[in-house]
Copies of this chain bind each other. A is one copy, B any other.
Amino acid sequence: MSNVFEVPQAGNDLLEKAEQVRLASIKISQTENKERIKALNFMADYLVKNIEEIFEANNEDYKNAEKKGISKALLSRLKLSKEKLNSGIEGVRKVGDLADPLNQAQIKRELSKGLILERKTVPIGVLGIIFESRPDAVMQISSLAIRSGNGVMLKGGSEANLTNTAIVKALKEGLHESGFDKNAICLLTSRKDSMAMLNLEKYINLIIPRGSNELVKFIQENTRIPVLGHADGICHLFIDYEANLDMALSVALDSKIQYPAACNAIETLLVHKDIAPFFFEKAIPLFNSNDVKLIGDKRSVELGIKYEANVEDWQTEYLDLILSIKIVDDLNEAITHIQKYSSKHTDGIITENLATANKFMNVVDSAGVFHNCSTRFADGFRYGFGAEVGISTQTLPPRGPVGLEGLVTYKYFLKGDGNIVDDFSSGKAIYTHKDI
């Protein structure tokens, strides 16, 4: 992979930008909730004011991309329609409606007379975000960063550079108009700079990559800055022998075809051997009529699946209308397969047996464990978080779909009236540890 990406040293220009964002992030961390909401509205207003300029830039990007022969899928993501832009601008205002993630008291405790401990949420500092070509992401990410009191360094796909530049210009004007330091948002336009960010652990507190699996993996392996995100999304659905057959068919189909390119779509279906003949009888024509290519293990092929799977199929995120299928002897074999191949994103079970469901949900160590519903629900908006920063497949928090709470941390505030530890050693003072 080292021939695809590399991490260069940051140039002086980048270091200066990073320092500016860091200083701006300290200022924004001191602002009131109301001011941040006001800033979001100004940011939206200036996007509206600059709308023609943004469209022009986008047209230019689009023309250049067409010339370069970029794929249709990418072109369609790049294209900023009126609807897309308006809904993006509306999204900026909507982020203002979300609950303030800052200054939330998690602990308030009297440690001793006159000595009060508080743990409160605070911004993380500076976010480094590397994302794909969709230029609407710039608005969404910037508004989430500002809402949570963070500074942000952004790098989008280079084919959208002109569009992103125009959008960021408008966002900065909005920040400035509301009295904020416009350096809180910084756009990088070269791949060299975005990769050099990975070395800036003194300036950047969290990296959020939203791109190809290869890019995310490379970032995870090449920075000491914490990374929020996921590379693969290899999700499984296990059809237990005690499943409701109609439900199994409907949920399996939804989990695969509702949006096959999403990380929460399933790649592998595990089917209990006792239900397999009945399930396959209906599932094969159902998936065929929805253009899903089925690839099965030996036993599945014996039951009518056309293509035989090899070990790579269990490790592949197809992101396409392809589904691998394996017949398993029992719950344990299903769990063992999932433990081996799951990317720990989301794995589900269909069964009417509650004990079976509970065992599955307790033992499978994925961010989401689902019973009798589609894996496609694994999403910040569907979970009711209002906005999604990304989905994390790491074990430690933040895990799963991450909303604004993933963009804050906490710190401990201790206020006393001259308290010293020696008084507790000598017995002159005692701990009360009383939550207040």
Contacts and interface: CB of A to CB of B under 8 A. Distances in A.
Contacts of A251: 418-420
Contacts of A111: 377, 382-384
Given A206-B396, A365-B125, A374 B224 contact: no
A361 interface: yes
Interface string A221-252: 10010100000000000000000101100110
Interface of A: 26, 29-30, 109, 111, 115, 117, 119, 122, 124-125, 205-206, 220-221, 224, 226, 244, 246-247, 250-251, 253-254, 258-259, 357, 361-363, 365-374, 376-378, 382-384, 394-397, 399-401, 409-422, 424-425, 431, 433
A115 B371 CA distance: 10
A412 B254 contact: no
Given A409-B395, A415-B372, A30 B362 contact: yes
B363 A416 contact: no
Given A382-B111, A396-B124, A425-B258, A372 B409 contact: no
A415 B258 contact: no
A369 B120 CA distance: 11
A373 B258 contact: no
B109 A384 contact: yes
Nearest to A26: B363
11 contacts: A206-B395, A206-B396, A246-B418, A367-B412, A372-B418, A373-B414, A373-B415, A374-B419, A384-B433, A399-B412, A400-B411
Nearest to A395: B205
A409 B399 contact: yes
Given A124-B395, A369-B413, 10 more contacts: A115-B373, A251-B420, A254-B420, A254-B421, A370-B415, A377-B419, A382-B421, A384-B431, A397-B397, A399-B411
A412 B258 contact: no
A333 to B, nearest CB: 15
B368 A412 contact: yes
